[in-house]
Structure 1
């Protein structure tokens, strides 16, 4: 069986380091290259800058970095016809438009969260939202470690979009208040976000529908980053066979 050549973008990061370990142990994958902001050699691994040279032999690039780095990767990947897994979050509208445009030429899988559990939770959130009466308030709770920069997180936005879609709306139409590390009163008939960025929390998310009489809650707690790395590895194997287009983990998991 011919192996799938993988590039890890952001190899010195926590997810990048974990992905390097998992790719090197996988019988189907081959670690073709690792990229970073600067060139260096560490633990026998050569870290290169993003370039046509460093990406030329790869089949799939796995990117967990920052939006500006992802934009750089996309330009090179489009030029070289390489496939890209995007686990980076925090894109603005212009950057997201770049991703959408690139997907016309190359296969891209983008997800704010690569875990099976979160994607099932997103799917169920949409179903619940569609069935629940408008008298219920809607909340997304998003807790992460203090080093996470963007908020709401990519996962929280995934869940918010699912709830909004269940109501036949866009998230922009029904987004309420966003509270960071504090309590507050949400807007009626809106999706309100309650954010925590403290300590070493690996990632906990809840979707809550409630009235004065009852509370319905879907909750996911990540206990290890292996969860997200394993999802990205599965996604890379799946994407390697796909034609140009913009995909997500629902496509991989077949939970449409």
Structure 2
């Protein structure tokens, strides 16, 4: 399968490039960066000391050489890439977070023409955690307060993380609620006592934290914690490759990692 990588000069992009180069059933055919990036013209494998023959480019026409794009960039970049993917008939794995409603609608519209896996987190372990949260929330739907904590590196620009939001949504869904109706995004000053049935969020940004997520179910006399900690971006890369392979059998449609893993 011919793969294109967006954000090729970034940490996640380089991790994805390395994973594709090491996969016997995948071939790197395009590496994209933002317009004017100093990485343009470099070999995509230069950071590994490898000559791949694929030059990093900011020309979206390079997508025509690929069957699937893997994109972990930013919403504005991803949407531009998605438009080109639709034009060239290229499938898309989207790990970018922070989309607004209009952006999500654009992804949904594109899925009518191409196959897309769109997920807040490509990690297999995180997606298993989502399922554990659904089970726990159904059983702990009375007498327990739910809180979502997440921590990421200082350069992450959206908060709460897409994964934290998805964890909150898993709990809210199990409670037959809409997350936006019961979420407490911040607390400051005299907040009063905690309201029953709400889901609180707290965020840390600092250093080089790859990604920590914990959901607390706090009851009387006990506390249950369901935690996922990422120690390497390799887990996201490997999950993304699984998603790309899944799309090989799809012509169009919008899927997530729950579909990929058949959870």
TM-score, structure 1 length as denominator? 0.92
Relative to structure 1, is the Cα distance of residues 50 and 218 closer, same or farther in structure 2, using a 3 angstrom cutoff? farther
Moved over 6 A (4+): none
Separation in 2 of the partners of 1:229 and 1:179?
A: 35
* Comparing 54-63 and 36-45, the one that deviates more: 36-45
* Comparing 118-127 and 60-69, the one that deviates more: 118-127
Q: The residue matched to 1:220 in structure 2 has which SS? A: strand
Separation in 2 of the partners of 1:28 and 1:202?
A: 28
C-alpha displacement of 1:185 = 7.3
Aligned counterpart in structure 2 of residue 17 of structure 1, from 14, 19, 23: 14
- The gaps in structure 1 that reach 5 residues or longer are none
CA deviation vs aligned residue, 1:76-100 (integer Å, no higher than 9, x gap):
1111111000010010111011111
CA deviation vs aligned residue, 1:33-67 (integer Å, no higher than 9, x gap):
0011133324254111142x201121000001000
Q: Is the 8 A contact 1:9 1:65 kept in 2?
A: yes
TM-score, structure 2 length as denominator? 0.90
Separation in 2 of the partners of 1:187 and 1:228?
A: 36
* Comparing 12-21 and 38-47, the one that deviates more: 38-47
Q: Is the 8 A contact 1:176 1:187 kept in 2?
A: no
C-alpha displacement of 1:177 = 3.1
Q: Is the 8 A contact 1:179 1:195 kept in 2?
A: no
- Tell me which residue corresponds to 2:4: 7
Q: Is the 8 A contact 1:176 1:192 kept in 2?
A: yes
- Tell me which residue corresponds to 2:33: 36
Q: Is the 8 A contact 1:176 1:186 kept in 2?
A: no
C-alpha displacement of 1:179 = 5.5
Separation in 2 of the partners of 1:92 and 1:54?
A: 27
Relative to structure 1, is the Cα distance of residues 179 and 30 closer, same or farther in structure 2, using a 3 angstrom cutoff? farther
Question: Is 1:48 aligned to residue 57 of structure 2?
Answer: yes
- Tell me which residue corresponds to 1:204: 212
Q: Number of aligned residue pairs: give it.
A: 248
- Tell me which residue corresponds to 1:111: 119
Q: Is the 8 A contact 1:186 1:192 kept in 2?
A: no
Structural mapping, 1:50-199, within 5 Å: 50-51=59-60, 53-178=61-186, 187-199=195-207
Relative to structure 1, is the Cα distance of residues 32 and 185 closer, same or farther in structure 2, using a 3 angstrom cutoff? farther
Separation in 2 of the partners of 1:147 and 1:186?
A: 31
Question: Is 1:253 aligned to residue 237 of structure 2?
Answer: no
C-alpha displacement of 1:178 = 2.7
Q: The residue matched to 1:40 in structure 2 has which SS? A: coil
